[in-house]
Structure 1
Amino acid sequence: MKISELALASQIPVKTIRFYEQEGLLPTPKRMENGYRYYSQNDVETLIFIRRCRSLNIALSDIRRLVEVQQHPHNSCAVVDEIIAEQLEHIRQTQRELAKLEISLSSLVSCENHQVSDCCILKRLKDEDCHGN
């Protein structure tokens, strides 16, 4: 299939497919006599896998490792477990940071004054104590 057909089948834009090829996530495609790239059903499956990994916010370097380990189906899947555990911890850390951010923003959410010159939110943002929240 041509790259436009691959893009349609995988729901990934052509530009992104070319980027994944450059990054080594997708093998270099075979070329037809007319110079067009030729893709297979395996390429569709790989791109769908990559798309699903990206939806989990998995880094491209880790996706590359996940694609590579699939080339050796009889090996241990410890690498897969490690990557997913690291991603889960990353997400949990992000959640903790967002919770702190929410608390900080909640403390700033309302100003009783009606003029910028008297705005308590702006005054708190200028206060050094506010930066530590």
Structure 2
Amino acid sequence: MKIGELAKATQVSAKTIRYYESIGLLISPTREANGYRYYRLSDLETLIFIKRCRELNIPIKDIKQLVMVQHNPQASCSTVDTIIAEQLARVRQMQQDLNQLEQTLSSLFTSCSSKQIQDCFILQTLKSTE
């Protein structure tokens, strides 16, 4: 299939596909005499895999490892387990950070009873050097 067909089938833009090729995440496809890239079913499967990993916010460097380990089906799953555990830890940290952010914003929101900008406690707090 051509890059446009692959893009449509995976809902990944052609620009992104070319980027994945340029960084070695996706193997460069064969080119015919007309210069068009032609992709195989395995390229489609790899791209879907990459897309799902990106949806999980797995970093590109880790996705590269996940793609590579699949070339050795007899290898241990320890690399995969480690990558997923690290991503889970990052997500949990982000949740804690977002909870703290929510508490701060909620506190700011409920702290101001002023009706005029000149007396706005929120703006004064955000400008404070303390």
Q: Same fold (TM over 0.5)?
A: yes
**Count of residues in correspondence between the two structures:** 129
What does 1:74-113 correspond to in 2, within 5 Å? Answer: 74-110=74-110, 111-113=112-114
In the alignment, which residue of structure 1 is the partner of 2:32? Answer: 32
What root-mean-square deviation, in Å, do the aligned CA atoms of Structure 1 and Structure 2 show?
1.0
Measured in 2, the distance between the counterparts of 1:124 and 1:33 equals: 65
Superposition deviation, residue 75 in structure 1: 0.4
Partners of 1:15 and 1:36 in 2: CA distance: 14
| Secondary structure class of the residue paired with 1:76 | coil
Amino acid at match of 2:115: H
Q: Which residue of 1 aligns with 2:23?
A: 23
User: Which 4+ residue blocks in structure 1 deviate beyond 4 angstroms?
Assistant: none
Aligned partners of 1:10 and 1:45 also within 8 Å: no
How many Å apart are 1:37 and its aligned residue?
Answer: 0.8
CA distance in 1, matches of 2:8, 2:127: 51
User: Conserved in 2, the CA contact under 8 Å of 1:31 and 1:38?
Assistant: yes
Structure 1 CA distance for aligned equivalents of residues 120 and 53 of structure 2:
45
Q: What is the identity, as a one-letter code, of the residue corresponding to 1:117?
A: Q
Matches within 5 A, 1:1-133: 1-110=1-110, 111-129=112-130
The whole-number CA distance in structure 1 between the counterparts of 2:17 and 2:54 is: 13
Letter in 2 for 1:115: Q
Identity of aligned residues (%): 57
Name stretches of at least 5 consecutive residues in structure 2 with no aligned partner: none
Q: Deviations over 1:82-132 (max 9, x none)?
A: 000000000001111111111111110032111111111112223344xxx
SS in 1 for 2:71: coil
TM-score, normalising length from structure 2? 0.95
